Structure 1
Amino acid sequence: MVDQERIRLVVLGGAGVGKSAICKQFLFNSFCPKYRTTVEDLYSKEFNVGSTTIKVDILDTCGDQQFPAMRRLSIATAHAFLFVYSIACEQSFEIIKQNFEEVREQREDYQTLPIVIAGNKLDLAPDCRHITVEDASEWVYCELPKMRVKLVECSAKDNVNVREVFKCFLGLSRFLNGTEDFSTCPLKRRSSAYVSHTKASRRAESPVALSVTAATSVAKSPASPTGRGNHTVDQSKNDQDRPKPRSRSLIRRCSRKTKQQIRDSGAVDDCNVS
């Protein structure tokens, strides 16, 4: 049986830097010199990696700042990011810095997300370059040293390093290169029950901390002759207050009930993304 995974790669950057051109060159081996403003385009493609079939959704976002709600939603649902700037435009490089700040503000797991930064328009004349490799590398590897980031320069027009841009995600993903366990991969889509349980586990104290707290409470408890009374009350209170993971069967029942109510009422679900 072949395992299947679905991940979402979100492309961010300023207007006119070639985000759509890179995506279309990679997916369709085509390039259109005519510029067309993108609102939001979604492409899907399957890739076979060993015994795993990976379904990749590439979300090409708008370079203008007129759709902040759409950009926030795309950042919240992404498993990986591709930041694109033009080597001939200093402002485009500042925009991807702003985009990264948005990711850092919205995503607590930003340090574990695979990120590739692509400097496009390598086909232009050398005197047109305003962002050197050294300038970009200084920001990427000095200011973001603990992140899983890769810097690549490419040309969507001449199809130079376009495939390498997307191959970088294979090296940045621990799941795809097989260096870590399948369940720890940031690209792994997890159920809401699993996410709720893991967040509750992170908020809970470690067993060592609980034992230290219990020992301290016993030492400071003059009311209990055996030294166990307060510890038992505190431990039972902690067990009651600790969040429990939601049952997956409950989630499925609620989902089926909601869908049945929609069908009975005749409403149309407009939130499905194909």
Structure 2
Amino acid sequence: MADLERIRLVILGGAGVSTSSIIKRFLFKIYTDKYRATVEDLFNREYDLGGVTLKVDILDTSGDVQFPAMRRLSIATAHAFMLVYASTSASSFQCVKQCFQEIREQRADYQDIPIVIAGNKSDLANTHREVRLEEVTDWVYCELPRLRAKVLECSAKEDQNVTDLFKTLLSLSRFLPVGSNNDGTSGLKRRSSAYVSASSSRNKNRNVSPFVSGDKKSSLVETVIPTTSSANAKPKPRSRSLIRRASRKTKQQINNASDDCNLQ
């Protein structure tokens, strides 16, 4: 029986960047030019990922700041983020920067959270581009602290890189291997069953992802107990030569550290 894990993906962006179009293109393979302001939409899907059943909650949030309580709650409960701007709108990129600042203020673990910055409407970039891809990558990889983040441009209208956005999020979440060549159908296989229970035998020697939902994570985490232990056992003293070697190694690692931009 397959293991069950869950990830909650929250999509943030300004009004008019077509976050809903990205989701509908990915889930239902449809696109419409009709605009409807989003308040909050939640989509649920299950997928097979090499013996693991992954339950994905995709939360499409409002681009309007009139719902601050809902926005704070969505940020607090997310396991991964997709921040969407329009390549044709400089102001939408500023909204993405504001969204990231909100994440940074509310989540102490923001550097460990998978984040994809998506530049939608790339099909219009040749004639109406206002945000260069280099500008976005410089901001993410050089101006910000080191993040578990990637930058991609896409087009919901032309169905360009839409599946790659979600595959990249799963790779950053370590549900898919980095550089996976699976296409959208083989990498993400939709399950028909509503629920698959976890198998404790497969979890025994398995590293638990930090992005499993809290209720499931508690049942998967195992306590490691040493095979030999004694209440009166005393730690062996370390030799001074070993301490000196460890100290020199630590100093060498610090001296070799670099603060240059790290293109991940």
* Common topology (TM > 0.5): yes
Q: Which residue type is aligned with residue 106 of structure 1? A: Q
Q: 1:19·1:84 contact (CA, 8 Å) conserved in 2?
A: yes
Q: Which residue of the partner structure matches residue 160 of structure 1?
A: 160
- 1:112 corresponding residue in structure 2: 112
How many Å apart are 1:186 and its aligned residue? 2.5
CA distance in 2: counterparts of 1:49 and 1:105, whole angstroms: 33
Higher helix fraction (1 or 2):
1
Q: 1:141 to 1:125 in 2, by over 3 A?
A: closer
The 5 Å alignment of 1:95-110 reads 95-110=95-110
| Structure 1 partner of 2:212 | 188
Partner SS state of residue 43, structure 1: strand
Structure with the greater relative contact order (CA < 8 A, sep ≥ 6): 1 or 2? 2
- The residue type paired with residue 76 of structure 1 is A
Query: What letter corresponds to residue 30 of structure 2 in structure 1?
Result: S
- CA deviations 1:85-143 (Å, max 9, x no partner) are 00111110011111011111111111111100100001115130010111111111112
Deviations along 1:167-226, one digit per CA (max 9) or x if unpaired, are 101221234439xx85452312234996xxxxxxxxxxxxxxxx9xxxxxxxxxxxxxxx
What is aligned with 2:18?
18
1:175 and 1:182 in contact (8 A); partners too? no
Matches within 5 A, 1:39-188: 39-177=39-177, 183=207, 185-188=209-212
AA partner of residue 87 (structure 1) = S
SS at match of 1:30: coil
What 5-or-longer segments of structure 1 have no aligned partner? 195-210, 212-274
Separation of aligned partners in 1, 2:4 and 2:95: 35
- 3-state DSSP class of the match of 1:44? strand
Further displaced range: 19-28 or 161-170? 161-170
Kindly indicate whether the alpha-carbon contact (under 8 Å) linking 2:88 and 2:125 is maintained by their aligned counterparts in 1: no
Assess if the C-alpha contact under 8 Å between 1:44 and 1:55 holds in 2: yes
Counterpart code for 2:111: Q
Specify the SS of the correspondent of 1:4.
Answer: strand
CA distance in 2, matches of 1:183, 1:64: 39
What is the root-mean-square deviation of aligned Cα atoms in Å?
A: 2.3
Radius of gyration: which is bigger? Answer: 1
Alignment check: 8 A CA contact 1:113 1:186 kept: no
| In structure 2, distance between residues paired with 1:35 and 1:96 | 20
Distance across 1 between alignment mates of 2:102 and 2:145 = 18
Query: Mind listing any 5+ residue stretches in structure 2 that lack a counterpart?
Result: 179-204, 219-234, 236-264
Q: Is the 8 A contact 1:112 1:186 kept in 2?
A: no
Letter in 2 for 1:70: M
Deviations 1:39-60 (A, max 9, x none): 0000111111111000100000
